[in-house]
């Protein structure tokens, strides 16, 4: 029992420090805003390590989402609490139609995450990107 307490304390300390390290990779969510009478919004960013940017927006079922990213080697994934898995929004995604649009299957709040591939993060790459989100 004497040996168990120091082991538990060490485990708690390691857990707390790993949570802190994970928190360092998080960025503040960005609420996507569309200017009056427009259907798109543009953003720029730079990914450092395993960091990702999270863009939040509200949309309706049946609307078409188009995501365009220029710049470094970055990827975008779409999330919604009713989707069973994320949706890859890259140019060659099988989820997109011939025009590069994704038809939203649910109404509500969506999250678009922009990140770099793990292999690039391991190499210490810091790609800059330009993002355009369009909803029609």
Which residue matches tokens 């790609």?
127
pLDDT for 14 equals 36
The answer to whether 25 and 50 have CB atoms below 8 angstroms apart is yes
SS3 label, residue 65: strand
Which residues does 81 contact at the CB level (< 8 Å), separation at least 6? 108, 109
pLDDT for 28 equals 86
pLDDT for 22 equals 35
> Which sign does the torsion angle of CA 60, 63, 68, 74 carry?
positive
Give the span between the Cα atoms of 66 and 50, in whole angstroms: 25
pLDDT in tens, the chain (136 residues): 555 444 433 443 433 333 333 334 667 899 999 888 899 999 999 999 999 999 999 999 999 999 999 988 999 999 999 999 999 999 899 999 999 999 999 999 999 999 999 999 999 999 999 999 999 9
pLDDT for 20 equals 30
Which residues does 40 contact at the CB level (< 8 Å), separation at least 6? 34, 132, 133, 134, 135
pLDDT for 58 equals 95
Give the span between the Cα atoms of 48 and 32, in whole angstroms: 21
């Amino acid at each position: 029992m004497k040996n168990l307490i120091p082991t538990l304390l060490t485990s708690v300390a390691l857990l707390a420090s790993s949570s802190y390290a994970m928190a360092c990779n998080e960025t503040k969510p960005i609420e996507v805003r569309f200017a009056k009478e427009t259907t798109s919004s543009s953003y720029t960013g730079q990914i450092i390590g395993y960091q990702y940017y999270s863009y939040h927006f509200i949309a309706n079922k049946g609307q078409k989402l188009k995501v365009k990213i220029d710049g470094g080697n970055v990827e975008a994934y779409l999330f919604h609490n009713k989707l069973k898995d994320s949706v890859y929004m890259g140019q060659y995604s099988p989820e997109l139609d011939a025009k590069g649009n994704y038809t939203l299957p649910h109404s509500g709040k969506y999250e678009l995450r922009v990140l770099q591939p793990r292999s690039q993060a391991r190499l210490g790459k810091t790609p800059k990107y330009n993002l355009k989100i369009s909803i029609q």
